[in-house]
A and B are shown apart, each in its own frame.
Chain A
Amino acid sequence: GAVVSQHPSRVICKSGTSVKIECRSLDFQATTMFWYRQFPKQSLMLMATSNEGSKATYEQGVEKDKFLINHASLTLSTLTVTSAHPEDSSFYICSAKQGGGTEAFFGQGTRLTVV
Chain B
Amino acid sequence: KQEVTQIPAALSVPEGENLVLNCSFTDSAIYNLQWFRQDPGKGLTSLLLIQSSQREQTSGRLNASLDKSSGRSTLYIAASQPGDSATYLCAVRGNTPLVFGKGTRLSVIA
A binds B: yes
Number of inter-chain CB pairs below 8 Å: 52
Q: A81 within 8 Å of B by Cβ?
A: no
Interface: B98 (CB within 8 A) = yes
The answer to whether A43 touches B102, judged by C-beta atoms less than 8 angstroms apart, is: yes
Whether B43 lies near A93 (C-beta < 8 A) is: yes
Given known A-B contacts A34-B97, A49-B97, A41 and B44 have beta carbons under 8 A apart:
no
Q: Using a CB–CB distance below 8 Å, which chain B residues touch chain A?
A: 4, 31-32, 34, 36, 41-46, 49, 51, 89, 91, 93, 96-103
Q: A111 CA to B45 CA in the complex, in Å?
A: 17
In the bound complex, CA of A46 to CA of B49 (Å): 19
Contact B43–A6 (Cβ < 8 Å): yes
Q: Tell me how far the C-beta of A12 lies from the nearest C-beta in chain B, rounded to whole angstroms.
A: 14
- Known: A43-B101, A43-B103, A46-B98. Contact between A102 and B31, CB under 8 A? yes
Q: List 26 A-B contacts (CB under 8 A).
A: A6-B43, A34-B97, A36-B100, A41-B102, A42-B102, A43-B100, A44-B89, A44-B91, A44-B98, A45-B100, A46-B96, A46-B97, A93-B43, A95-B98, A102-B31, A102-B51, A102-B93, A103-B46, A103-B49, A104-B97, A104-B98, A107-B43, A108-B42, A109-B41, A109-B42, A109-B44
Would you call B97 and A111 a contact (CB within 8 A)? Answer: no
Dominant SS among interface residues on chain A: strand
Query: Is A67 engaged at the interface, CB distance under 8 Å to the other chain?
Result: no
